[in-house]
């Protein structure tokens, strides 16, 4: 740690985060990871991306490979990105929690607290212009982090809305989106998600 963030050293700084998460011994979920011989999922994509997607936590496929959104929800995310003409390699995809919760249960507040500082650093390093949250956990965390507490309500009311905020590196748009997993068995939700994703066309 301690390197200044420049245009050129983002990859190095992101690698430091990976090393630190791998080295975690007593975070709430890392013992599970070690016991099961699986991987943390740090994030993937363009280190200078304009858009960052933030999901919840790795599932089984993600923990087995170390890659975000590579299972059923990932297939839906890929289709949604394609529907908006966005190439997955041009965005950055991560999660708020970097290790898989057992049986894919919802992350606990102390787990979110333990991993959120890594997400904060990823945002500071990548400096995205758009932060698209996937699901209510990352929506809640990101909206609170950027002082939008008063606008937090049920995701069904604010999905697809754009919130303008100021960060230390400039103006940013926060766009809460449903989690792609909601569309695995629900075509209506898939349509809603697809509609919302079209907003992202303006920012790629």
Quick one: which of 28, 45, 59, 128 contacts ligand URA (CB under 6 A)? 59
- With CB under 6 A as the contact rule, the residue among 38, 39, 56, 112 that binds ligand URA is 56
Tell me the C-alpha to C-alpha distance, in Å, between residue 104 and each of 40, 44, 59, 83, 138. 14, 20, 6, 27, 16
Q: Rule CB under 6 A: which of 143-162 touch ligand URA?
A: none
Which of 27, 95, 122, 133 is in the footprint of ligand URA by CB under 6 A?
Answer: 95
Residue with smaller CB distance to ligand URA, 128 or 180: 180
Q: What is the total residue count of the chain?
A: 204
- The dihedral region occupied by 76, where left means phi > 0, alpha psi between -120 and 50, and beta the remainder, is alpha
For residue 35, the tally of other CB atoms under 10 A from its CB is 9
Q: Based on CB atoms, which residue is closest to ligand URA, 40 or 58? A: 58
**Pair of tokens at residue 65:** 């490979």
Position 73 contacts ligand URA (CB under 6 A): yes
| 58: contact with ligand URA by CB under 6 A | yes
* Residues between 16 and 55 with contacts to ligand URA, criterion CB under 6 A: 41, 55
CB atoms within 10 A of CB 38: 18
Nearest to 177 by CA among 141, 131, 145, 146: 131
Expressed in angstroms, the distance from the first to the final Cα of the chain is 31
Q: How far apart are CA 154 and CA 170, in angstroms?
A: 28
CA distance 116 to 98: 9
Note whether 119 binds ligand URA by CB under 6 A.
Answer: no
Please pick, from the candidates 17, 57, 131, 200, the single residue that binds ligand URA as defined by CB under 6 A.
57
**126/13 Cα distance (integer angstroms):** 10
Region near ligand URA per CB under 6 A, out of 9-17, 30-38, 62-70, 144-152: 62-70
Number of residues that bind ligand URA (CB under 6 A): 12
- For ligand URA, the nearest residue by Cβ is 55
Q: Considering only 3-11, 22-30, 67-75, 121-129, which stretch makes contact with ligand URA by CB under 6 A?
A: 67-75
**Which of these ranges, 31-39, 57-65, 143-151, 183-191, lies near ligand URA under the rule CB under 6 A?**
57-65
The residue ranges that bind ligand URA (CB under 6 A) are 41, 55-59, 62, 68-69, 73, 95, 181
């Amino acid at each position: 740690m301690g390197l200044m963030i420049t245009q050129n050293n983002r990859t190095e700084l992101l690698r430091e985060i990976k090393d630190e998460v791998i080295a975690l011994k007593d975070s709430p979920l890392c013992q599970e990871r070690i016991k099961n011989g699986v991987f943390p999922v740090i994030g993937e994509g363009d280190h200078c991306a304009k858009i960052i997607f933030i999901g919840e936590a790795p599932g089984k496929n993600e923990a087995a490979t170390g890659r975000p959104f590579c299972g059923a929800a990932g297939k839906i995310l890929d289709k949604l990105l394609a529907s908006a003409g966005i190439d997955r390699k041009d965005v950055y995809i991560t999660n708020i929690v970097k290790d898989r919760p057992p049986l894919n249960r919802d992350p606990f507040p102390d787990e979110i607290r333990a991993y959120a500082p890594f997400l904060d650093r990823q945002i500071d390093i990548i400096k995205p212009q758009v932060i698209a949250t996937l699901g209510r956990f990352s929506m809640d965390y990101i909206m609170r982090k950027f002082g939008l507490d008063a606008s937090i309500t049920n995701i069904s009311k604010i999905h697809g809305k754009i919130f303008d905020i100021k960060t230390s590196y400039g103006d940013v748009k926060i766009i809460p989106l449903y989690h792609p997993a909601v569309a695995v068995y629900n075509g209506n939700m898939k349509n809603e998600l697809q509609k919302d994703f079209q907003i992202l066309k303006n920012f790629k």
